[in-house]
């Protein structure tokens, strides 16, 4: 890809906030640290792409993938009680995913 095409592609990316559950299922909003520790803002084409980018960044920071994640796995939308990841778009709509 040339640089102009990449710039056009990245200009279409949107900001998403991604939160990983504290426990195995649905414990998202019980954080006690700094307010910025609870989520990360990620650029992505869509919600699933932002979630994948979040997990790759997690690997770079912590030198390991989070629990229950393997490359190439599919993410499924689910209710909050069963979700492992919460993705929030700029309209503050929350979507929950599990592997």
- Residue at 88 is within a domain: yes
Q: Cβ contacts of residue 48 below 8 Å, gap of 6+?
A: 75, 97
Q: Terminus-to-terminus CA distance in the chain, angstroms?
A: 31
- Residue at 53 is within a domain: yes
Residue 11 has pLDDT above 80, yes or no: yes
65-92 average pLDDT score: 84
- Residue at 1 is within a domain: no
SS3 19: strand
pTM given for the model: 0.81
Domain tally, the chain: 1
- Residue at 3 is within a domain: no
Residue 31: give the domain boundaries.
13-98
- Residue at 34 is within a domain: yes
- Residue at 62 is within a domain: yes
Q: How much is the mean pLDDT over the chain?
A: 84
Angstrom distance (rounded) from CA 80 to CA 70: 22
Residue 36 has pLDDT above 70, yes or no: no
pLDDT of 68 reads 72
Residue 46 has pLDDT above 90, yes or no: yes
């Amino acid at each position: 890809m040339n640089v102009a095409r990449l710039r056009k592609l990245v200009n279409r990316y949107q900001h998403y906030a991604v939160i990983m559950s504290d426990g195995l299922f649905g414990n998202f909003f019980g954080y006690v640290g700094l307010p910025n520790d609870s989520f990360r803002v990620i650029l992505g084409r869509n919600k699933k792409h932002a979630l994948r980018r979040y997990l790759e960044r997690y690997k770079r920071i912590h030198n390991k993938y989070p629990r229950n994640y393997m490359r190439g796995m599919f993410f499924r939308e689910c209710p909050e009680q069963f979700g492992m990841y919460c993705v929030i778009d700029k309209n503050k709509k929350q979507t929950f995913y599990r592997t």
